[in-house]
Amino acid sequence: MKRTKIIPLALVLILGCATIASAQKKESRSAATLRAADAQWQRAFSANDLKRSVDFCAADGSVMAPNAPIATGKPAITQLFSTFFSWPDFKISWNATDVEVARSGELGYTTGLYELSFKDPSGKVINDNGKYVTVWKKQADGSWKVLRDIFNSNLPMPPAP
């Protein structure tokens, strides 16, 4: 009688641990997929590929650039990204330092550092660097799309004129 109670308890513990291990494995696999999506978005941007850059955003996604209103939805995001890509010699790169996906697997974020440069109208190279947070949502087809993207500069505010 004693043994029959111990065995089910042991089974519950083993199954419980297996479930936790499986959830952790699933989470890190999801995080790796999300990190890859962040890097692919970066490559689309580095290639100045407007269509691919916009396609990474969800239909109801928002990009929140500094010193500009929120761009929500693909037409507004297309207009915003077009402005970036129109800057002479525009270059951007970023790298996710942290990636986290919820246990349920459909919501996650990436965060890290960016560097960008472009030429101003006088031909002078403007350099900027800063940080970003991107909130991602997994879509019905399994792909990750940008729900919210926001960034700002690490450089000190230029002095008032």
Q: Kindly list the residues in this chain that would bind a copy of itself in the complex (CB under 8 A).
A: 62, 64-70, 100-109, 111, 131-133, 135, 147-148, 150-161
Q: What is the smallest separation between the CB atom of 29 and a copy of itself, expressed in angstroms?
A: 15
Question: Which residue's CB is nearer to a copy of itself, number 43 or number 103?
Answer: 103
* Cβ contact 108:30 at 8 Å: yes
Residues with Cβ within 8 Å of residue 103, at least 6 apart in sequence: 23, 27
Q: Tokens in use for 71?
A: 């761009």
3-state secondary structure 44-62: HHHCCCHHHHHHCEEEEEE
Nearer residue to a copy of itself within complex by CB, 42 or 149: 149
Structure tokens at 147: 């729900």
Minimum distance from residue 118 beta carbon to a copy of itself (Å): 13
Tell me the closest approach of the beta carbon of residue 85 to a copy of itself, in angstroms.
18
Q: How far is the CB of 128 from a copy of itself (least distance, A)?
A: 11
Q: List CB contacts of 145: < 8 A, sequence separation 6 or more.
A: 56, 57, 58, 61, 136, 137, 138, 139
Smaller CB separation from a copy of itself, 50 or 150: 150
Q: Which of 128, 135, 64, 138 is nearest to 94 (CA)?
A: 128
**CA distance linking residue 130 with residue 153, whole number of Å:** 4
Q: Min. distance of Cβ 108 from a copy of itself in angstroms?
A: 8
| Closer residue to a copy of itself in complex, CB, 8/121 | 121
| Cβ proximity to a copy of itself, 85 vs 132, nearer residue | 132
